[in-house]
């Protein structure tokens, strides 16, 4: 294979190096293209453009492969815990027991948030979407920890900034939920593990403890592991781009939360349940909506099917589908919404129209079903995605900073008016 690509532009030859990754992914390095030729490339949505070289997550859309730091998600979902996977993503290796204990305990002692943050929270109406609250309150951490604004923090100071974010986001996420239902917040109980503590803060009442169900805790661990990172998706690219301006970790993740909120990204799991509820409200005839989805003149589209990157199946969906069946059985959940989901799933996996278009159930389809079965309210589904994606965002921000990447500044092809002179008002 040649070490370079050659482009002929206006009769002149330009040679650009070929970059090959450890999984044999190939790229044309065009870092000098504009300087040498005056040309840029154009790639709307960056679908063919690599923004960076990263050692965190590898995915193969054709083969349905997803690995964090080389470890297949199937093994991590089965054998690891979310907090251990967070350590793996952020620091690059599976921790020893001592390292994991230190990481876990450091997080435990930082789960409280400044009481003044409750005053900010109280300012939100109960109708505020939890994702908007989460993004705002995560950004407000810069006010309580102004040292996080220093782009030249020492390694230990960066690590404390990271620990604080891992520790406080679950508290803030649970509080945003309590605010949305007008209930008093629950404070973290540090004797509990990460996922159990979150469930406690979400569902405990002042008058009664939340009874932890091991099936629910295990399912939540698995869900968060499967959402922990996904290479350069929209929200992660946002975190890296904002961070490339030397913005703080908190500001960068706040921006990532806003990107994730979009229905085409993390908001898809909420859109799945809203679609199922609309089908139920219309009479529950899934066949009618399957026909609508196939009608090119009908604006109805199935949410939670297919994927931009995975061509044949989403490996996370395979694992979550199994977990969904286990949770629904263990909890004895009998929900007509879930029956409709099963009918749509059956159609998507057997109807040639959906098979030909690779419209298979994706991670958002099944995660929405599990979250609903766990009693998590629909408008918290994307918050759950953010909770899972947090270590991935942190790891990617940390890698970008350690690689001393330049500020992100894409170019454009201008298509507006050419030069023209100002026209006085009386001549318009």
Q: How far is the CB of 266 from ligand MLT (least distance, A)?
A: 7
Least distance (Å) between residue 317 CB and ligand MLT: 10
CB of 385 to ligand MLT, least distance (A): 8
H helix or E strand, kind and range, residue 194? helix 194-203
Yes or no: say if 346 and 306 are a contact pair by the CB < 8 Å rule: no
State both tokens at 13.
Answer: 């030859």
> Which residue number, 163 or 268, has a Cβ lying nearer to ligand MLT?
268
- Name residues whose C-beta falls within 8 Å of residue 284's C-beta, 6 or more positions apart in sequence: 336, 339, 340
Q: Is 335 tagged catalytic? A: no
Name the E strands within 145-294. none
| Closer by beta carbon to ligand MLT, 4 or else 46 | 46
Q: How far is the CB of 87 from ligand MLT (least distance, A)?
A: 20
Round to whole Å and give the CA distance between 209 and 206: 8
If one asks whether residue 100 binds ligand MLT (CB under 6 A), the answer comes out as no
Contact present, 170 and 198 (Cβ < 8 Å): yes
State the Cα–Cα distance between residues 397 and 390, nearest whole angstrom: 11
Q: What per-residue string of b and e applies to 389-405 under the rule 16 or more CB within 10 Å gives b? A: bbbbbbbbbbbbbeeeb
Residue with tokens 């909120």: 261
Beta strands in 246-297 (DSSP E): none
Per rule CB under 6 A, is residue 233 in the interface with ligand MLT?
A: yes
- Which one, 180 or 231, has the nearer CB to ligand MLT? 231
CB of 182 to ligand MLT, least distance (A): 32
Closest CA to 58 of 45, 72, 48: 72
Binding residue count for ligand MLT, defined by CB under 6 A = 5
Could you give the string, one character per residue 103-142, with x where binding to ligand MLT holds by CB under 6 A and - elsewhere?
A: ----------------------------------------
Annotated active-site residue in 129, 227, 314, 364: 364
Concerning whether 227 is annotated as a catalytic residue, the answer is: no
Q: CB-wise, 15 or 308, nearer to ligand MLT? A: 308
**Does 396 help bind ligand MLT (rule: CB under 6 A)?**
no
Assess contact for 35 and 24: CB atoms under 8 A. Answer: no
Per CB under 6 A, the list member of 110, 200, 222, 230 interacting with ligand MLT is 230
Decide if 270 contacts 382 (C-beta within 8 A). Answer: yes
Nearer to ligand MLT among residue 81 and residue 232 (C-beta): 232
Residue 16 has phi, psi (to 5 degrees) of -120, 140
Nearest distance, CB of residue 230 and ligand MLT, angstroms: 3
* 45 or 332: CB nearest ligand MLT: 45
The minimum distance between CB 265 and ligand MLT, in angstroms, equals 6
Q: Name the 3-class secondary structure at 305.
A: strand
Q: Which helix (H) or strand (E) holds 5?
A: strand 4-9
For ligand MLT, the binding residues in 285-344 under the rule CB under 6 A are 308-309
Give alpha helix (H) positions in 43-154: 73-79, 82-91, 97-108, 116-122, 130-144
The residue among 118 and 308 lying less far from ligand MLT, judged by its C-beta, is 308
The pattern of x and - marking residues 188 through 227 that bind ligand MLT according to CB under 6 A reads ----------------------------------------
Catalytic residue among 129, 200, 227, 307: 307
Residues at the interface with ligand MLT (CB under 6 A): 230, 233, 265, 308-309
Catalytically active residues are 307, 364
């Amino acid at each position: 294979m040649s070490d370079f690509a050659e482009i002929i532009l206006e009769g002149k030859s330009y040679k650009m190096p070929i970059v090959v990754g450890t999984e044999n992914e190939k790229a044309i390095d065009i870092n000098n293209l504009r300087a040498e030729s005056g040309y840029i490339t154009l790639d709307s949505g960056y679908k063919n453009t690599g923004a960076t070289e990263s050692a965190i997550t590898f995915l193969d859309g054709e083969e349905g492969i997803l690995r964090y730091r080389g470890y297949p998600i199937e093994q991590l979902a089965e054998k690891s815990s979310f907090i251990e996977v967070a350590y793996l993503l952020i620091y690059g290796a599976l921790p020893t027991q001592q390292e994991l204990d230190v990481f876990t305990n450091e997080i435990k002692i930082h789960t409280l948030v400044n009481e003044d943050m409750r005053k900010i929270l109280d300012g939100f109406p109960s109708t505020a979407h939890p994702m908007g609250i989460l993004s705002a309150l995560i950004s407000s951490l810069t006010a309580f920890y102004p040292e996080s604004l220093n782009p030249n923090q020492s390694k230990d100071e960066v690590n404390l900034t990271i620990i604080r974010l891992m520790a406080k986001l679950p508290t803030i996420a649970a509080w945003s939920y309590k605010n949305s239902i007008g209930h008093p917040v629950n404070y973290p109980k540090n004797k509990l593990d990460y996922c159990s503590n979150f469930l406690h803060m979400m569902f405990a009442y002042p008058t009664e403890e939340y009874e932890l169900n091991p099936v629910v805790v295990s399912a939540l661990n698995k869900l968060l592991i499967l959402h922990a990172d996904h290479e350069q998706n929209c929200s992660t690219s946002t975190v890296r781009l904002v961070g490339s301006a030397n913005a703080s970790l908190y500001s960068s993740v706040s921006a990532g939360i806003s990107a994730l909120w979009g229905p085409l990204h993390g908001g898809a799991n909420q859109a799945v349940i809203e679609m199922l509820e609309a089908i139920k409200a219309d009479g529950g005839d899934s066949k009618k909506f399957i026909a609508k989805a196939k009608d090119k003149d009908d604006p109805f589209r199935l949410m939670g099917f297919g994927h931009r990157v995975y061509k044949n199946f989403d490996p996370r969906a395979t694992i979550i589908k199994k977990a969904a069946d286990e949770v629904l059985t263990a909890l004895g959940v009998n929900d007509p919404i879930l029956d409709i989901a099963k009918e749509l799933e059956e159609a998507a996996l057997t109807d040639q129209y959906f098979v030909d278009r690779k419209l298979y159930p994706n991670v958002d389809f099944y995660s929405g079903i599990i979250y609903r079965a766990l009693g998590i309210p629909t408008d918290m589904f994307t918050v759950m995605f953010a909770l899972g994606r947090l270590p991935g965002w942190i790891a990617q921000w940390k890698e970008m900073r350690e690689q001393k990447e330049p500020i992100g500044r894409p170019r454009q092809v201008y298509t507006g008016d050419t030069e023209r002179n100002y026209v006085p008002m009386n001549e318009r």
